[in-house]
Structure 1
């Protein structure tokens, strides 16, 4: 089904013609020209049955004897196919807030997820004829797309080597929008935007996953601190030897390395011990 323009005429001109026909009917009956009056009356009623009012950002789908006659997008008053069925479809931008869905991410962790979908109808014929109820269709397909995207990614990770639902909101939104558009094209709907509005671990594992996140964060931070500390110690010893300030054998190098690493990596500030020499030589 593809949208096309329906037959119509200017509504104000049509109303004027109807008024003239009704006036002609009255004068014909007064003049006892009943046949002419009846013809004028029938034509006036026929045209009057096609009067249609179209609001801004709305379209009207015209159906006559079960056949699609076209769509009216021109706002204002028009006259279209007489005795036809006319269905009004809104072309305005609308929001759909999905329910909080419980799904498993790619690692099998149960999570709660919800999204807001911004959409509008761009093809009224498809919205009426290709799906049974396009608003319900949007709702069901949105939830299906959210589940599909959520199961393809982990909730979170500290490795920063892959996309995550929590850390890559823009990328996830773009993928959700693309998948939704693929699903909703058949209904004549354009998806303007799709964004996550709620994302959390399910209550039954929330505490455990919080502890896991904290542990992972501590491990990642420790790893970074150690890598930085090793580089700082190596740089410090190389500069001391390069400037000729000290000459270190293997034993003293190991001792200095140990002391510097302890000082840098320690959670608490270290207390230096100052060696002022010995009392007896």
Structure 2
């Protein structure tokens, strides 16, 4: 387990990330200018279909202003900030990468959302919260990093209230070996994909029942095609966060989706 976690930390190390973000964001205005989650959408949404997917998942999860929300694997905090701004809820993000957490806090200050959104460094397999703490938990393009799915989903269930909702938007295995490297792994040794059916079995075994369960692979393919047609994304974008190799990783993810090797799962489940 330790070796896997160390490999994940190395993959998402992002040395000097906050300073790179400060420099890149000068394109949007001076340091004291307040930014919106929408302005940061190309930079801080680490998943296919970006901000649109986060908005759809939040709607499906039925998030309201009085909810306490946990974002597991929160990256630099894009979804957490969007939820707080759009719904008025309080959001806590956890991520394994210290540089990501530091960057998330900086970007949250730039969007004036620090009173509603907080971040801390933690493992998804050992969430530092009491049982039944949250109303909603989000997991977006994270599970394929984690080999012990049973433990992951049990931890999420543990920190949710008895009627809490778990909303997940993740990459699943469809057929055939994926092309590597991809955004979450350079080689198959650190990629832990499951099929949609195996994912459902693991989640339900942790104490959930499905409210929404759908295959969003076609929407993801259409998004990939649109991106290819529109050319390189404007700056700042995810390349600032993930480095110069991200273009190749992203291209391989698109190829895997188009070829049907990978799929995209959207699901909302209720804690039993």
Q: Which has the larger radius of gyration?
A: 1
Which TM-score bucket, shorter chain as reference?
under 0.3
Higher relative contact order (CA 8 A, sep 6+): 2
What is the TM-score normalised by the length of structure 2?
Answer: 0.18
